Amino acid sequence: MKIVILEGSPHKTGASNTLADNFIKGAKEAGHEVKILDLPRMNLNPCLGCIRQSFEEPCMQKDDGHILREELLSADMLVFVTPVYFYDMSAQLKIAIDRMHCIYHLFKDKHLKSALIATACREDAEVMKYLMDIYNGLAEYLNFEICGEILATGVEYASINENSKYLIQAYELGKNLKGE
């Protein structure tokens, strides 16, 4: 199975990317192919709503949107990775999701698998509520099969304790994925 990781953290070695690394380790050990899209380091502009790609025309923006498109269309699974800022995903991940707008019809019927890996400094579960509403709505609309979530609360901005239960959960989620 080809898994595309959409890393939305501006902190390359931050907590959410560290969890993603553990997920990737487990997924690779299980025999899956993994492609990481480091969204903050890509040149992705916000969607302008031109809808040109809906008609198989190139996007009017001259950025890395074509890379995003190619990887999304070749994926069997998408993993959304983000720190939570103000009850929501990072702007970098949101831009990538918005750029799916014009091509969603090309992969909606593929019934992709998906997972969410999110971190927040706050310890209470309430901090993840709105992110989960958005993620679940997106998954329902795009016919994603949700394979799991790692919702790591009480995690500092750019670090995660090496003994954290979340590291184990991320590894296990990747390791236990079913699919070809």
Domains of the chain, residue spans: 2-175
Range 8-26 average pLDDT: 95
Distances (CA, A) of 124 to 66, 108, 154, 166: 38, 33, 8, 15
| For residue 159, pLDDT beyond 70 | no
- Per the CB < 8 A criterion, the answer to whether 79 and 27 are in contact is no
Instruction: Kindly report, residue by residue over 82-116, the tens digit of the pLDDT.
Output: 999 888 999 999 999 999 888 888 888 889 999 99
State the virtual CA torsion across 41, 11, 149, 160 in degrees, nearest 10.
150
Residue 129 has pLDDT above 80, yes or no: yes
CATH code: domain 2-175 is 3.40.50.360
Nearest to 63 by CA among 93, 32, 95, 85: 95
Question: How high does pLDDT run on average in the chain?
Answer: 92
Beta partners for residue 150, in sequence order: 117
Q: What percent of the chain has pLDDT over 70?
A: 96
Q: How many DSSP H helices and E strands does the chain contain?
A: 6, 5
Q: What pLDDT is recorded for position 55? A: 64
C-alpha–C-alpha distance, residues 107 and 85, integer Å? 28
